């Protein structure tokens, strides 16, 4: 790249900042408008591609991720507990926020709560909540909190005791993971009818204590 091109790049980035914030303002206006109507709202997101937003963020990924996360909280808060409310924009907002900042743990954890809560308190989409938490685990493999959240979703929302027990067992192997994760694995396996699995886990807990 020529010297002229190098000197021009920072100015292009600076010049693009107003455009970025105009787009964010348009998104906020759309959320505000849709917040006034629940029964017949349009669920089109201004920018539904996290990668597309990332290209336009001009290196301010974390800042824009925080903005999208804030919008997700506003969007959810305006609908939670309202009969007939639709949550069609919730997943795209959370997906974009966590694509821009894969380390935004709060968005994975509370976003999963927003998605998995049954109506009218939430979106009643435990499948998307599981997808969001798995995305967080892939980006943060040493975060046992996310593993615990996934185990909870399988156990409490999906009633998939075998999957929940396996998740807790896997999570117990993460460095600094609490000992209760292994105990949860044993208890859930027993509740799900897998007595042999439960016995095996309890034996491992006994031998390692």
How many structural domains is the chain composed of?
2
Residue 54: domain span: 3-140
Residues 164 and 101 in one domain: no
% of the chain residues with pLDDT over 70: 68
Residues 102 and 171 in one domain: no
Residues 173 and 98 in one domain: no
Predicted pLDDT of residue 208: 72
Q: Does residue 146 sit within a domain? A: no
Q: Does residue 153 sit within a domain? A: no
Predicted pLDDT of residue 200: 72
Give tens-digit pLDDT for 67-99: 899 999 999 999 998 998 999 999 999 999 999
% of the chain residues with pLDDT over 90: 49
pTM for the whole structure: 0.76
Q: State how far the Cα of 116 lies from the Cα of 51, in Å rounded to an integer.
A: 25
Residues 20 and 117 in one domain: yes
Residues 20 and 79 in one domain: yes
Q: Does residue 151 sit within a domain? A: no
Residue 161 confidence (pLDDT) above 90 = yes
Residues 202 and 135 in one domain: no
- Which of 31-35, 124-128, 135-139, 189-193 shows the lowest mean pLDDT across its residues? 31-35
Residues 136 and 163 in one domain: no
Predicted pLDDT of residue 64: 85
Give tens-digit pLDDT for 125-134: 999 999 999 9
């Amino acid at each position: 790249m020529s010297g002229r091109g190098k000197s021009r790049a920072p100015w292009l980035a600076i010049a693009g900042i107003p455009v970025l914030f105009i787009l964010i303002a348009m998104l906020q206006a759309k959320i505000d408008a849709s917040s006034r109507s629940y029964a017949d709202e349009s669920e089109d997101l201004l920018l539904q591609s996290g990668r597309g937003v990332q290209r336009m963020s001009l290196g301010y990924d974390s800042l824009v991720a925080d903005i999208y996360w804030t919008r997700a909280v506003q969007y959810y808060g305006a609908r939670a507990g309202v009969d007939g409310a639709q949550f069609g924009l919730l997943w795209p907002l959370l997906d974009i926020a966590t694509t821009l900042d894969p380390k935004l743990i709060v968005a994975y954890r509370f976003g999963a709560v927003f998605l998995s809560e049954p109506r009218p308190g939430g979106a009643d989409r435990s499948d998307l909540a599981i997808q969001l938490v798995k995305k967080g685990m892939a980006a943060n493999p040493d975060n046992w909190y996310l593993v615990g959240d996934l185990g909870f979703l399988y156990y409490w929302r999906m009633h998939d005791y075998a999957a929940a027990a396996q998740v807790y067992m896997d999570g117990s192997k993460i460095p600094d993971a609490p000992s209760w994760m292994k105990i949860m694995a044993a208890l859930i396996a027993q509740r799900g009818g897998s007595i042999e699995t439960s016995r095996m886990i309890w034996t491992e807990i006994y031998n390692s204590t």
